[in-house]
Amino acid sequence: MPYPQKSLTSGMSDEAGWRYYSVDEFSSMPKTCKDLQENGQTITGVYDIYPYSTLTIPAIQKRVDGSMIFDRNWADYKNGFGSPEQNVWIGNDVIHKLTKENTSSLYVSITVQNGTTLYEMYDRFSVSDEAGKYQLFLAGPATGTLGDAMLHTGAPNHWDLSGMYFSTPDRDNDGYSGGNCAAGSNIRGGWWFNACHLAFLNGQWSPGSWINPWRPTVTSATSVKGTTMLIRRN
């Protein structure tokens, strides 16, 4: 019987005082196929298991270079991909499980080419489940050195991202009536798009293809050395 291993994990680490999120709430979830059988699952099928639940989940998003392609489909963003030590999207199902109580803060950082790390922190961050299209809920205050490019951007409302559904090149859930933002030639990646974005950390690393990682502070991939998204419980 095939059982997918969903959780990407690594050791503890810190960034700007933020310790990577501990997954204590996964302790009661099945770690092996035997756990499922002992809990009464006797029908052959595909089930989720969480084999690394005693460890910790690192950044929910991390990029250190352009070696990992983030132009991926809905299933990839649902389940997660990459390596926690290098480039990773932890998976929308996991992000939902970590934030569903709406008690988490979000920390976003972009390290630019001169080695300076700019950041923005949001007081409340949560993501709904797949049935809710992984809808983003974000609340302030927003503080930091990047500037707020997600919540209250100062631009028309169609640029703000709170309340938006997750989109991928094969799944259009954005607020843009002219097409699928995630499938655009200058975007090509999964994110919470409105019409379309002033903040987008999953773009193609090529400078000509990744526009506005975090406008107006970082407007091109030529400026980016790395990105990170961290969460912590308040």
| Mean predicted confidence (pLDDT) in 85-100 | 92
Tell me the per-residue pLDDT of 102-151, one tens digit each, with 9 for 90 and over: 889 999 999 999 999 999 999 999 999 999 999 999 998 999 999 999 99
**Exposure on the CB side of residue 16, measured as CA atoms within 13 A:** 20
Q: Which domains does the chain have, with CATH numbers?
A: 59-233 (3.90.215.10)
pTM, two decimals, is 0.77
**What confidence tier does 52 reach under pLDDT thresholds 50, 70, 90?**
very low
| Mean predicted confidence (pLDDT) in 74-100 | 93
Predicted local confidence at residue 35, as pLDDT: 65
Predicted local confidence at residue 12, as pLDDT: 34
Predicted local confidence at residue 146, as pLDDT: 95
**What confidence tier does 6 reach under pLDDT thresholds 50, 70, 90?**
very low
Listed range (68-72, 163-167, 174-178) with the worst mean pLDDT: 174-178
Strands (E), the chain: 14-15, 18-19, 61-63, 81-82, 88-89, 104-112, 117-127, 136-144, 166-167, 191-192, 211-214, 218-220, 224-233
In contact, 25 and 165? CB cutoff 8 Å:
no
| Mean predicted confidence (pLDDT) in 72-100 | 93
Q: What is the mean pLDDT of the chain?
A: 81
Tokens of 145: 């050195």
pLDDT greater at residue 230 or residue 46: 230
Predicted local confidence at residue 113, as pLDDT: 92
| Mean predicted confidence (pLDDT) in 168-185 | 89
Predicted local confidence at residue 88, as pLDDT: 94
**Exposure on the CB side of residue 201, measured as CA atoms within 13 A:** 24
Percent of the chain with pLDDT over 70: 74
**Exposure on the CB side of residue 123, measured as CA atoms within 13 A:** 5
**What confidence tier does 27 reach under pLDDT thresholds 50, 70, 90?**
very low
